[in-house]
Structures are given as structure tokens and as C-alpha cells.
Copies of this chain bind each other. A is one copy, B any other.
């Protein structure tokens, strides 16, 4: 009984890189096999199809990250601390694996239709946390979706800039600034 788990991991990392570079549809099985240095048939020992590979890479990591954010968030008792911790976590993870997080950011459009509403994602966690904070009067009431979109935008667009090398420094050192900006967006013009 041979161990193919190393090969599966190699395929995953190679595909991730190519998916980010060229997009999922434009990446061929030949591309992946060629770069990974394996035969085309080998890929099918580990993944049913290209779509299934793209979906597994997306869903596994997308949902796992949401889960981690949710656990982390529970360790704090107010919106400001929850938000700061979540942003720090995102930045740290992005720096640790930029290719993976670039994939999650950029492949979203193609894969997001397959995400069913009952799945807990980073977006739903963020909305929940913001809604709690509003209910507790920590920040002024406003449309939760709008608030979540603005906060998410501050963090994600900076990550997108980093993915495009428009920003060159690591994200983690920026996390305090990002958290401050997000807090400002939620708290309004200078109150709090």
C-alpha cells in the first residue's frame, strides 16, 4: 500500500497557484500535471474532476476559516475586540499563505453560487458579530449588511492590493490600522 497523500497535496498546491494566476476555467489538467510533474491520470486518482478540485480547495478552506473566525470571536465580549481579533487573524493567515487566500478572494465569483445559505462563512460571522454589537449599543444602529460590506471592504481590498503587489508590506503589521479604520466606519464620525 503506497502513500499518495504527498501527491494529493502537491496537486492541491500546484492547482492553487495556477488557479490564482490564470483562473480556474483557463487552467487545464495538462497545466497542473505539467507543473506538478505528474501524469494527467494521476490527478484523477485524487480528485473526481477539475470542478471538484476547484470546489474542494475553495469550500474546505473557506469554511474552515469561517469556523476559526467564529471560535476566535467567542473569546471576546465586545465588538471592538472581536473585530480587532478577527482582522488580526485574517492578516496573519493571509501572510502565512497568500496564494490560498488570493484564491479565496479571487475565485469567489465562480464558487460562491455553490455556497448554500445555511453554510457559515466569514461574511455571516461578521454580520452576526456586528448585529450583536449594535444590539448592545456599542455602535449606532444601521443596516447590518451595509455595515458588514464596508468593514469587509476595508480589509479585503487591502488584501487584494497586496495580492496585486500594489502594497508590498505584510498585512499583519497593518492589522491595528485596519481595525481602527473599520471601527471608525462602524462608530461613525468621531463619536465613541
Contacts and interface: CB of A to CB of B under 8 A. Distances in A.
Given A23-B23, A156-B153, A161 B145 contact: yes
A145 B157 contact: no
Q: Which bucket holds chain A's interface residue count?
A: 35 or more
B190 A184 contact: yes
Interface in A143-169: 143, 145-146, 148-150, 152-158, 160-161, 164, 166-167
A28 to B, nearest CB: 11
Contact of A153 (B145, B153, B188, B189): B153
Contacts of A154: 150, 153-154, 185
Interface stretch (A4-12, A30-38, A130-138, A173-181): A173-181
A145 B165 CA distance: 10
19 contacts: A23-B25, A23-B110, A25-B26, A106-B109, A112-B164, A123-B166, A146-B158, A146-B174, A149-B157, A150-B154, A150-B178, A152-B153, A152-B157, A153-B153, A153-B155, A153-B156, A157-B157, A181-B185, A185-B185
A-B pairs, top 8 by smallest CB distance, nearest first, are A153-B157, A190-B190, A153-B153, A25-B25, A149-B161, A184-B184, A149-B158, A181-B185
